[in-house]
Amino acid sequence: MQKKITLRLSPADSMDDERIKHHLASELGININEISGYQLLKKSLDARGRQVWFHLTMNVFINEPLQTDIISPLQLQDVSKAHHSIIVAGAGPAGLFAALRMIELGIKPIILERGKEVRARRRDLAALNKDGVVNPDSNYCFGEGGAGTYSDGKLYTRSTKRGDVQRILNILVHFGADPNILYDAHPHIGTNKLPYIITSITKAIRDSGGEVYFEKKLVDFTIKNEWITEVKTADGDQIETDGLILATGHSARDIYELLYQKKIEILFKPFALGVRIEHPQSLIDTAQYHLTPAAGRVEGVPPASYSLVEQVNGKGVFSFCMCPGGIIAPAATNRGEIVVNGWSPSKRNNPFANSGIVVNVDEKDIQGYKNHGALAGIYFQQSVEQRAYKAGGGKLIAPAQRLVDFTKQVTSASVPLCSYLPGIASVDLKDVLPRFVHDSLLIAFKEFGKKIKGYFTNEAVLVATESRTSSPVRIPRDEKKLHHPQVKNLYPCAEGAGYAGGIVSAAMDGERIANQLASTLHK
Ligand SMILES: Cc1cc2nc3c(=O)[nH]c(=O)nc-3n(C[C@H](O)[C@H](O)[C@H](O)COP(=O)(O)OP(=O)(O)OC[C@H]3O[C@@H](n4cnc5c(N)ncnc54)[C@H](O)[C@@H]3O)c2cc1C
C-alpha cells in the first residue's frame, strides 16, 4: 500500500531518515517495520514563527517494496543524417533545451555560440574579476550555457505548467543536478555545479549527431521570399539552413541592431533597472528566522532569502534574483559599462546576502531615447551602465553607497566590505541613476525597512547598476506557429525575444519552439 502524507518536522528531524520513519509510523498508526521507504515529493520551509519548521510531503510505501521511478526523461535519437537541420544561435538554456528536444524529434540542431566553452570561459571570468577586463564574446552572459552557467542556478519559475517545469528539472537531474531539485520548493543548483551539467548537455547533443560550435558568432542571414536560406558567421562562414532559432539572450545588442537594420519588426518591451543591495547574511538570517543577534541559524536551515515589492507613485519596485550567501558579479558584455548581477555556490556559504532592487521602466519614462525607436530601452540601459563605469573610475570598479546615506542623499564616508571582486567606490548614486529610478528607490527602501527588521541599515551597501533584468526588446512571433510574422522560419526564442525570464522558463520556451518546428517540418 502507498500513502501520501505531509509532516511538519524540526530541521534536525527533517534531515534524519530514521526519525522521519518514526514520525511516519506514529502519524499512520503502524509499526515502523511496515514502512519499506518513502519518496519525497515536496519539501518547503516555514519560518513564520519563532521556530523554523519543514513541511515534507511524501509517498510512503507500507508493506510493499519502495519504488523509485527512475525513468529517463529523454529519448535521444541519432540525428547525424536527419532530413532536416536547424540552426540555433545561442547555447544558453533555451538553445540547449531546444537542441535536446529537436534531437528527440528527429531534427538535427546546429548550435552556433559566440562565446567559449566552459573551461576557456572561466579564464575570461577570472580576468573580469581580477583585472576588470571585459571580453565582449566571453563573459558572465556569453559562452557555453549562456547566462545560466555561472548564474545562481535558482530554478523557480512563475510558470504554472507543472508538467513542463518538472520535465526540465528531470532533465537537469539526468545531466547531474542533485535530485533534491525535484522536491525542494525553492530549488537551487549553484554556480560551482552548473558547469558540469552544461558540459554534459553539450556532450549529449554532440553524441547524438548534433553540432555545437563555439566562438562562432551569427552576424547576418539571407532572406528569400520571407524564408531564411542561410546564415553568416563572423569568421566568414555561410551555412544553409531550414530555419533559425534565435536564442541569443537579452544582452546580444548586436542581434537587435541587425534585426532593426534589416527592418524585421522588433518592439520596445518594459523592463526594470536599479541597483544590487548587499547585507551581511547574518542580518537577514536574524530578521527572517526571528533570531537574537548572537544566535546563528540552526543546522539544516538554509541561509535566509527574501522577496520584496512596493508600489511607489504607481511604479513597481521589487527585489530581483536574491542570492543568499552569494557574490555580486560583474555581468557587463561590453567595455566601458558596469552591469551587476548575483550568484551563489550550492552551499550558499558566503557571508553576504545580495539582491537586485529594481524599478519598472516603461516607454514613457525614457522619452529622451525615442529617436532610437524600438531600441530606445537598449540605449537608455547602456547610458546608465556607461555612467556607472565612469563614476567608478574604470577597471569595473562599481559606484556604491551605503543604504541610509543613499536615502539621506549624502556620499558615504567609507564603503563596507563587499563581495564584488573588482571593487567598489563611494559615489553619490544620484549622479548615476536616472532620476525616476533614484527617487522610487529612495521611498521603496524605507518601506522595505518596515517589512524586514534591520534591513534599513548603513551596514548595507548599494552597488550600481542592475540593468539586465529582462530584455528591453520583444521580437514578435506568431502566437501558434511561433515564427516571426515577417520571416516564416525565424523563431525568436526565450529571454532575448521577451518570452522567458530565468533558466527554467528559457529552457521551456526552447522546447516549445522545437515542438512547433517538428510539427511544421514533419508535415
Ligand atoms: C550572474 C547571473 C545570475 C543569474 N541567476 C539566475 C538564477 O539564479 N536563476 C535563473 O532562473 N536565472 C538566473 N539568471 C538569468 C538566466 O541565466 C537567464 O534568464 C537565462 O540564461 C536565459 O536563457 P537564454 O537561453 O534565453 O539566454 P542566455 O542564457 O542569455 O543565452 C544566450 C546565448 O546566446 C549567445 N549569443 C548571443 N549573441 C550571439 C550571436 N550573435 N551568435 C551566437 N551566439 C550568440 C550568448 O553568448 C549566450 O550564450 C542569472 C543570470 C546571470 C548573468
What pLDDT is attached to residue 522?
75
Q: Which three cell numbers stand for residue 159?
A: 510558470
Q: How many CB atoms lie within 10 A of CB 405?
A: 19
Q: Which three cell numbers stand for residue 271?
A: 523592463
- Please give the number of the atom of ligand 1 that sits closest to the Cα of 504: 11
Closest CA to 456 of 407, 521, 412: 407
What pLDDT is attached to residue 217?
98
Q: How many CB atoms lie within 10 A of CB 449?
A: 17
In the reported structure, the alpha carbon of residue 10 is separated from the centroid of ligand 1 by a whole-number distance in angstroms of: 37
Q: Which long-range contacts (CB under 8 A, 24 or more apart) does 37-46 make?
A: 37/61, 37/66, 38/66, 39/66, 39/67, 39/68, 40/183, 41/4, 41/183, 42/183, 42/185, 43/14, 43/180, 43/183, 43/184, 43/185, 44/184, 44/185, 44/186, 45/185, 45/186, 45/301, 45/302, 46/8
pLDDT means over runs of 10, the chain (523 residues)? 96 95 96 95 92 95 86 90 96 98 98 97 95 96 95 81 84 95 93 95 98 98 96 97 97 98 97 98 95 84 96 96 96 97 93 98 96 98 98 97 98 97 98 98 97 97 97 97 97 97 96 96 78
What pLDDT is attached to residue 162?
64
Cα distance between residue 142 and residue 127, in whole Å: 15
Closest CA to 344 of 302, 288, 385, 307: 302
Q: Positive or negative CA dihedral for 175, 179, 183, 189?
A: negative
Whole-model pTM: value is: 0.96
- Please give the number of the atom of ligand 1 that sits closest to the Cα of 93: 25
Cα distance between residue 216 and residue 495, in whole Å: 20
Closest CA to 471 of 259, 232, 153: 259
CATH numbers and ranges of domains, the chain: 2-62 (3.30.70), 85-266+473-521 (3.50.50.60), 270-466 (no CATH)
What pLDDT is attached to residue 168?
95
**Which residues does residue 200 pair with via DSSP β-bridges, in sequence order?**
none
Residue of 101, 111, 124, 152 to mutate, ligand 1, most atoms within 8 A of C-beta: 152
In the reported structure, the alpha carbon of residue 151 is separated from the centroid of ligand 1 by a whole-number distance in angstroms of: 9
Identify the residues whose C-beta falls under 6 Å from ligand 1. Answer: 89-95, 112-115, 140-143, 146-148, 151-154, 217-218, 247-249, 252, 255, 321, 329, 331, 341, 343, 494-496, 500-503, 506
Buried b (16+ CB within 10 A) or exposed e, 490-506: bbbbbbbbbbbbbbbbb
Q: Which three cell numbers stand for residue 234?
A: 563572423
Instruction: Say if residues 493 and 510 touch (Cβ distance below 8 Å).
Output: yes
